[in-house]
Amino acid sequence: MASPGAIAFEIGPLVVRWYGILMAVAIVVGLWLGHREAKRERLPADDIISAAQWAILAGLVGARLYEVIFNWDYYGQYPAKIIAVWEGGLAIHGGLIVGPLVGALLAWRWRLPVLRGFDVAAPSIAIGQAIGRWGNFFNEEAFGRPTNLPWKLYISPAHRPPGFGQFEYFHPTFLYESLWDFAVFVLLVAWLRPRLREHPGALFFTYIGLYSIGRFAIEALRLDSFWVGQFRVPQLASLAGVIVALIGVGWTYRRTRPAHGASSA
């Protein structure tokens, strides 16, 4: 498996990259699914999607800031690259921190159901990530250690990390994460959503936990992550995500527990 290149097409001075196309597709699909689910749940769909649009924009900013902060050795030398998001470099954990916070703030200010809105968003985020990860394929980034497995990924010499120039094939960790995100999407929609409907917010926190588990495991194969002690930064962020998920799910169950002595009918 080899990337056909980062550029999809050019029209005069305009250069359109696959990364940007896939990010746009991921956002459109996510918003469409979210709007459909909000209407099905009889929620104010248009208002929820308006909040989601601002949350996505904030999430993109957060994802870029996260990437720049933890790779300042590079961006400090090439500050013009900080805004070059079309070349890749969006750290999902940064988006998952900033985006939901902005979405929750707007939903609260607009008197929208925050937790139910989060549950609407969870599957959309998962499928959006599954689609968007393919941008890493075209940019030849977010790959793992050298491998000779049948699904190995060819990386051109210019994109190989220092010390790995002699290797041609690497783990396609972008693919592993895309498949995991899609599996999480299916699990959320087909099995968990009807079972967690009585506990607003539980579906969203479950998504955070499932994504974090998969990302922690996949990250062990990556070559491009910043280390803190014995763990990579995304692994520490994933551990934090699992903790947040456990606390969040427990909290949503407690807040919807019937009062002592009340009928459960």
User: pLDDT digit string (tens) for 146-194?
Assistant: 999 999 999 999 999 999 999 999 999 999 999 999 999 999 999 999 9
Q: What are phi and psi of 117, to 5 degrees?
A: -65, -40
What is the CA angle 11-131-195, rounded to 5?
A: 155
Tokens linked to 245: 């998920």
Residue 14 has pLDDT above 60, yes or no: yes
DSSP three-state, residue 146 = strand
| pTM score of the predicted model | 0.92
Break the chain down into helix, strand, coil percent, rounded to 5.
Answer: 65, 10, 25
For 30-40, the pLDDT digits (tens) are 999 999 999 99
Tokens linked to 231: 């763990």
What is the domain partition of the chain in residue ranges?
7-255
